[in-house]
Structure 1
Amino acid sequence: MTHQDNPNNDPDRSDDEGAEIVNLDAARAGRHPYQSAADRSEQEAIDGPVREGEAARVDQPDTSGPGWRTTLEEKARTRQPIVPLWLRSRAEAVETLRWVSLHYLHVTGYQLARLPLYGGRLTIRAPRGFVRLVSGIVKWTFDLEGEPVRLAAVQKADPEAYLKLSRQRDSRVRLRTFLSIVALFILLVAAIIAANQPNAAQWATLAVAIALGILGKPADRPLINRAVIPTSVEKLTSDIVIRSLTVLGIAGINQAIAKNPKDAVRFVAPITRDGPGWRADIDLPYGVTVGDVLDKRDRMSGALRRPLGCIWPEGDSSIHEGRLILWVGDKDLAKTVVKSPLVKAGSHDVFKGIPFGCDPRGRPITVPVIEQNILIGSQPGQGKTASVRVLASGAALDPTAELWIHELKGTGDLDPHEKNCHRYVSGIEDEAIAYAADSLTLLRREVMRRAAALKALPADLCPDKKVTRQIADKRSLGLHPLVAVFDECQNLFAHSEYGDKAGQDAEFIIKLGRALGVILVLATQRPDKDSLPTGISANVTIRFCLRVAGQLENDMILGTSAYKNGIRATMFVPGPPSKGGDAGTGYLVGATPMPKVVKSAYLDTPATQRIADRAHALRHSAGTLSGHALGETPERNAPTFDLLADVLAVVPPSETKVWNEVIVDRLAELRPDAYGVWAALEGGAKTAQLTTALKPYGIKTGQVWGTPEGGGKGANRIGIVRDDVATAVTERDSKKGRGVAS
């Protein structure tokens, strides 16, 4: 049936086969093809009649309108905080109050020290003040200020005006002369009375001298000096912000401002003081992201007429990618020396994190340590080792934390803490690399031991199966924090002999050691896939990236897509602060809810030595010194073993599926020093050890049928398939170019 067969254009008609017929005229006119006549009438009452060929409205008007709650929510989408931001953080509140107290203490001390100078100035200026006072009284009494007006009347030969002015002057002079005589008489009486009271006379003389000295002050020479010279920082205004955005050369911003200068850039909150600087919250034009602005930070510095170290734009992706938070500081962050509270701390608790530095607004930043692993990366000379030194010092001041330090550069930057370490090495030679590789092997075994020990703890002591302060204080459990530092770790992971095994061990520790109190701190100046295995860089939880050269290095340290999301450590200026560089400043990710620019605290060698001395005294009194710190020689060449190869060795090809507990017993017979602790466990703990150890290799366990080795009834228990282990070995060895497993 065609359109011509339906002359009335009835949308409810159908053809002989029951198919619905669409009203083409209604569709072309913008009406719904199945709309009833009543609905069309109602729509035409709202929109007006739709003529053929007229375009349909896409956005229909909302006749109901938003409810009062929706309207209120739109207006109150961002509420201003009731409590000021600086009072929300105890550390920030204490720091603010400390700064204010020191400021006014300085002002008070400055002025008190200059009281003799101010007294001398008042004494010198008192005669001039006396002359000014007398001349002023004379002028007022005899109405001398009106003399020019009377002379003008004489010169104009206006007798009527002159007589009127003269009578007015005579009346004023009579009254003022009487008042002056009364005032003089009162002063004389007061002087006579004060003369009979020496103390009162002295105070009166002092008061008169001060008053005369103030009256004699020259207009261009103030009496009191300023204790604090105010800065000439320009106040941040909306016009200045928009000016800085227009010079960035971003097409989206310039086009939006050209079309709509008033609303192209929207300020979602008033520009306010935020710490030692100004903060502006901005919604960029549609299609422009914060990452576009971060690339132009140097141009923004020129537009705002402020040093580059004062300009810190950042985004708030929790709202949207176009929300820009522009903070303009009063002082250059590069020239700011951040003092660490660890310098004066008697001790420290690593469960509370380690004070690491401050953000551009001067707010202290603490890096959590427990249940974390930390990766630090940068170009050479940008403050990487100095940042490691802060973390090592914080861990050293906790006498319950076991410290392992491997400084694989050989310069001795961490030597002050050698006397506090269970294991310590400093060097770049093969012996030092081998020692560091042995440490990772030992740490892997320690993770396995801790997993079994933690599993055996009762639920009331360890409900979450994580190391807590209470558990760490029980030294007999051996579950205290263990912080292992590997500075210049690229020399270990890229080593031709030890690198592959060390990378596997580090990945295993990072994945499983967090909840067991084992923390790795890795620092590298060459973040690539060879010197920093992807399994490590992908699983660390806290990252600190100082200046790097490009996007690849940036994302290796800060995580995939960090550069794309505007988190770019390439924006920092290379070089030390003395030469205008940003050494010590980097992006910190994972330690705070949002990525932050942070300048790490600076600890020089003498300060680090003082901290190490206090830490050594704490550990000596607590009895927690061990290993290298006691002069012992821990096993430098820990026995190395390959778990997968060992499993294949104890499970012959004839056994396709074997229980975990059987394999563990066989492994313990093969290598008692490595697997004996597993076999000592009972029940599910023994089975879980092997399951956990095989998980990083992609080998899954499951229910398999078997019988006890000594005979007995068969059953389904947790076990593995031997072919899965052989396949994993084949894939691993093929990547190394060693062939396949037999």
Structure 2
Amino acid sequence: MVPQNPPPDDKFDWKAAEEDVAEVVQLDEARTRRDSTAQAGTHFEVALDDQPAPGGMPVDEPRRGRSADRIPIVPVGWSTWPNIKHSIRQTTAVTAYRFGFHSVRAPKYAVLAAFWAFVGLFRLAGRQLTWWWVAEQYRLRQAAADANDPAMWLKLHREAKATRMWRFLVLAAEALAVSIGGPALWVTAPSWALAVVAAVAIAFLAHIGRPQDRPIVTPATVAGRFRQINPDIILRAYYAGGLGHPDKPHQQIAFGSTMARDASGTGSQVSIDLPYGKTFDDAVKARGAIASGLDVALSQVFITRDPSSHRRHTLWVADRDPLSVGAGRTPLLRCKPTDIWQPAPFGLDERGNKVSVNLLWTSFLIGAQPRQGKTFAARLLGLYAALDPYVKLTVFDGSGKPDWRKFALVADRYAFGLAMTRDGDPAEIVVEALREIKADVQDRYERLSKLPVDICPEGKLTRQIARDPKYAMPVRVVLMDEFQEYFDLGEISKEIATLLVYLVKVAPAAGVIFVDATQRPSGIAAGHVAQQFTSFRDNHQVRFSLRTGSWQVSDLVLGNGAYSEGFDSSTLLPSYKGVGILRGAWDETPTVRTHLADGDDAAKILTEARKLREAAGTLSGMAAGEDVTRVARDVLADVRTMFEPTERGLQWEDIAARLGDRLREFYADVTAESVSAQVRSFGVRSVDVKRAGKALKGAKADDIDAAIQRRKAA
């Protein structure tokens, strides 16, 4: 090579240097030819970035065959008659759409074109005046004046005068042609010619007058932005993410497969072998850096574990954000009977694959910020269970939203909100239902252990036993939304918490499924109930986390260790409604776009579900209008339910009469004095209440509500 500081000419051998330079040029040309030949079989697409430096490792297997590198003479779209018809239909449809799109906007285009043509007329005049005056020479003359060079200044001035005269003649001829030719054309030319000339002139002037960032015509179709991915870009991304080093021994990234499009045609995938000592967890933690190196969004990069090696994984890069596309309406809208023993359709994963979840023998925790689709996801599983007429449903909604109200058509037990209802105190209903479920679970274990082996071979519930009425052991599904509310009701929460912890640990094996949703997975204040809340939350096997506020909250929903494995629902965008991370259902942890079932869909499905239960004879409990047997008596709550919506006060005699008539099993012998004493023991005042113009002692509805609230807060 030529030295940077050559010696003097009498000592430097220029001939040898020229020979060295020629040799280097020949080596570079040969290396370039070798690299271009190798690239023909390296990438399945054209690289967008700089060409890789020589010496890179081969990735894809070279294509073999004499025609491997040849482009078909006839394009694939026009090679066969079916392809030709498809191409014609596709082209016709796009053309028709564009024609309709622009036809509707044609008046707008005309107005904009006329406005910018008017502006363009003045801009064109300004440009021609600037051209006539030779304004570009001004700096040269100023430079000559600054240099005190009068000769050069006079020369430039004379040239400017001559040029101005010539250009003036050109502009005068142009003005004369327009002033004479325009009226002549207007008089002699046909209408269509005038229209063509006007359209051309307006388009030309509008093009001059319109700013570059203000297009007149709006594109009817917009091509998506794709970052083409090739192996060299992947190597760049992984090295930039600190997962290896191209120049250090044993620190190179290797490929375990050729890079190819995935089966769905929506992205590219390749198997990656990290350097020894680097793990799958390192790749997951570096996912953001990999996405940056690939120049794509984080939501387009997915890393999947390879069971054959802890340093190997599959990288899948989507062409566009797959989570921004909804999964569509739920297939449950067909209103066909379902089978709880089969997986429930839940949504689509990031690659568009169908995701179904097994509900049996498990418990399902759903957590998210408000308005991210948490209730919709839980309700989707509830609708699937409702369409199985042999499933017994229990529905509790701690917030009292309208989303769950229609489940009253099919639910054996239900309670919505925390305010007093005609059905009683919702908290009491929850307690009684949980007591009944606990007793049922204990009874099931006892009876299952005594069944013959040919009927119950493994000592646990089977589909045949669950669907046979004589065993009275149907699969049960307990749906609880905003369950944190039941842990914050004062004294009664202690029993609720104890029952829930017991059931979530023991009940799934007896065929009792829990689907629980909350927007506050962190729990409540310290204390025994708070510890029970944590135990209840952590004993769910399957977790589904939609968008959360932080990675700590995401870990509470998905379970400890999820963040260290690279799963963080706080990275999901706020625009992702119904999108969450599903963990614990399988070895994989996909990001799922849940199917949509809105309020009208749910009402339709539940109406059909009721019909299925009526036909099968399995409608029971509160949905069937039955008086559910109570385990304990709550005088205060019972008295409150005796008030009609318009009544603000009742006399003790009326209260006693209604109790004895409506709740005869508990209040058959109740008297006005006894009910008064019991209610006043809770701090309720005995006041004058008028009825039919006669005032007698009784109670106000507001006073009873206040007593109930005091009891809850105690």
Q: What's the TM-score bracket when you normalise by the shorter of the two chains? A: 0.5 to 0.7
Q: Which amino acid aligns with 2:317?
A: V
1:104 and 1:427, CA in 2 relative to 1: closer, same or farther beyond 3 A? farther
Deviation of 1:553 after TM superposition, in Å, equals 2.7
Q: Does the alignment pair 1:328 with 2:317?
A: yes
**Residue of structure 2 in register with 1:161 after alignment:** none
CA contact (8 A) 1:541 1:590 kept: yes
**Residue of structure 1 in register with 2:568 after alignment:** 568
1:507 to 480, 501, 510: 501
SS at match of 1:259: coil
Deviation of 1:600 after TM superposition, in Å, equals 1.6
Q: Which amino acid aligns with 2:253?
A: V
SS at match of 1:476: coil
1:478 and 1:306, CA in 2 relative to 1: closer, same or farther beyond 3 A? same
Distance 1:115 1:379 in 2: 41
Deviation of 1:422 after TM superposition, in Å, equals 0.7
Distance 2:547 2:256 in 1: 32
Deviation of 1:295 after TM superposition, in Å, equals 4.5
Residue by residue, what CA displacement relative to the aligned partner does 1:525-577 show, whole Å, maximum 9, x if unpaired? 1112546723323332211122233444333322232222333323322x2x3
Deviation of 1:363 after TM superposition, in Å, equals 0.9
With structure 2 as the length reference, what TM-score do the two structures score?
A: 0.54
SS at match of 1:594: coil
Q: Which amino acid aligns with 2:351?
A: R
1:412 and 1:239, CA in 2 relative to 1: closer, same or farther beyond 3 A? same
Deviation of 1:474 after TM superposition, in Å, equals 0.3
CA RMSD of aligned residues (A): 3.3
**Residue of structure 1 in register with 2:255 after alignment:** 267
Deviation of 1:397 after TM superposition, in Å, equals 0.7
Q: Which has the higher contact order (CA 8 A, sep 6+)?
A: 2
Q: Which amino acid aligns with 2:569?
A: A
Residue by residue, what CA displacement relative to the aligned partner does 1:358-383 show, whole Å, maximum 9, x if unpaired? 21011111111111111111222222
In terms of mean alpha carbon deviation, does 583-592 or 425-434 score higher?
425-434
Deviation of 1:393 after TM superposition, in Å, equals 0.7
**Residue of structure 2 in register with 1:390 after alignment:** 380
Residue by residue, what CA displacement relative to the aligned partner does 1:480-530 show, whole Å, maximum 9, x if unpaired? 110000111111123322333222212221222222211111111111254
Q: Does the alignment pair 1:457 with 2:445?
A: no
Residue by residue, what CA displacement relative to the aligned partner does 1:682-716 show, whole Å, maximum 9, x if unpaired? xxxxxxxxxxxxxxxxxxxxxxxxxxxxxxxxxxx
**Residue of structure 2 in register with 1:419 after alignment:** 409
Distance 1:238 1:428 in 2: 59
Q: Which amino acid aligns with 2:565?
A: N
1:269 and 1:434, CA in 2 relative to 1: closer, same or farther beyond 3 A? farther
Distance 2:427 2:283 in 1: 43
1:69-108 matches, cutoff 5 A: 107=86
Distance 1:607 1:331 in 2: 30
1:597-616 matches, cutoff 5 A: 597-616=591-610
SS at match of 1:404: strand
1:321-360 matches, cutoff 5 A: 321-339=310-328, 340-360=330-350
**Residue of structure 2 in register with 1:547 after alignment:** 547
**Residue of structure 2 in register with 1:487 after alignment:** 481
Q: Number of residue pairs matched?
A: 418
Residue by residue, what CA displacement relative to the aligned partner does 1:281-326 show, whole Å, maximum 9, x if unpaired? 212334444444445545544443434432223434x445443332
CA contact (8 A) 1:435 1:637 kept: no
CA contact (8 A) 1:236 1:271 kept: no
**Residue of structure 2 in register with 1:622 after alignment:** 616
**Residue of structure 2 in register with 1:242 after alignment:** 235
CA contact (8 A) 1:437 1:492 kept: no
SS at match of 2:246: helix
Deviation of 1:471 after TM superposition, in Å, equals 1.0
Distance 1:266 1:494 in 2: 55
CA contact (8 A) 1:290 1:566 kept: no
1:284 to 274, 278, 286: 274
Q: Which amino acid aligns with 1:542?
A: V
**Residue of structure 2 in register with 1:377 after alignment:** 367
1:272 and 1:348, CA in 2 relative to 1: closer, same or farther beyond 3 A? same
Q: Which amino acid aligns with 2:259?
A: I
Distance 1:633 1:328 in 2: 57
Percent identity between the aligned chains?
Answer: 30
CA contact (8 A) 2:349 2:355 kept: yes
1:511 and 1:233, CA in 2 relative to 1: closer, same or farther beyond 3 A? same
1:403 and 1:285, CA in 2 relative to 1: closer, same or farther beyond 3 A? same
Deviation of 1:351 after TM superposition, in Å, equals 0.2
**Residue of structure 1 in register with 2:538 after alignment:** 538
Q: Which amino acid aligns with 2:622?
A: H
Distance 1:331 1:418 in 2: 42
Q: Does the alignment pair 1:363 with 2:356?
A: no
Distance 1:510 1:115 in 2: 55
SS at match of 1:446: helix
Q: Does the alignment pair 1:257 with 2:251?
A: no
Residue by residue, what CA displacement relative to the aligned partner does 1:11-61 show, whole Å, maximum 9, x if unpaired? xxxxxxxxxxxxxxxxxxxxxxxxxxxxxxxxxxxxxxxxxxxxxxxxxxx
CA contact (8 A) 1:442 1:638 kept: no
SS at match of 2:341: helix
1:389 and 1:463, CA in 2 relative to 1: closer, same or farther beyond 3 A? same
Distance 1:444 1:109 in 2: 66
1:292 and 1:470, CA in 2 relative to 1: closer, same or farther beyond 3 A? same
Distance 1:105 1:338 in 2: 32
Consecutive unaligned residues of structure 1, counting only runs of 5 or more, are 1-102, 118-227, 641-672, 674-742
Residue by residue, what CA displacement relative to the aligned partner does 1:626-653 show, whole Å, maximum 9, x if unpaired? 112112342466579xxxxxxxxxxxxx
SS at match of 1:369: coil
1:479 and 1:493, CA in 2 relative to 1: closer, same or farther beyond 3 A? same
Distance 2:625 2:553 in 1: 40
Q: Does the alignment pair 1:311 with 2:311?
A: no
1:46-57 matches, cutoff 5 A: none
SS at match of 1:625: coil
Distance 1:527 1:455 in 2: 36
Consecutive unaligned residues of structure 2, counting only runs of 5 or more, are 1-81, 97-220, 525-529, 635-664, 666-714
Distance 2:561 2:285 in 1: 15
SS at match of 1:514: helix
Deviation of 1:106 after TM superposition, in Å, equals 11
Residue by residue, what CA displacement relative to the aligned partner does 1:251-276 show, whole Å, maximum 9, x if unpaired? xx26x23525x962122122222222
Deviation of 1:429 after TM superposition, in Å, equals 3.7
Q: Which amino acid aligns with 1:450?
A: R
Distance 1:493 1:303 in 2: 47
**Residue of structure 2 in register with 1:497 after alignment:** 491
1:518-537 matches, cutoff 5 A: 518-528=512-522, 530=524, 533-537=533-537
With structure 1 as the length reference, what TM-score do the two structures score?
A: 0.52
Distance 2:410 2:232 in 1: 56
Distance 2:88 2:407 in 1: 40
SS at match of 2:356: strand
**Residue of structure 1 in register with 2:214 after alignment:** none
1:116 and 1:435, CA in 2 relative to 1: closer, same or farther beyond 3 A? closer
Distance 1:280 1:500 in 2: 53
Distance 1:364 1:419 in 2: 29
1:385 and 1:463, CA in 2 relative to 1: closer, same or farther beyond 3 A? same
SS at match of 1:632: coil
Distance 1:636 1:237 in 2: 68
CA contact (8 A) 1:295 1:571 kept: no
SS at match of 1:599: strand
CA contact (8 A) 1:407 1:414 kept: yes
Q: Which amino acid aligns with 1:270?
A: T
Q: Which amino acid aligns with 2:469?
A: R
**Residue of structure 2 in register with 1:31 after alignment:** none
Distance 1:306 1:277 in 2: 12
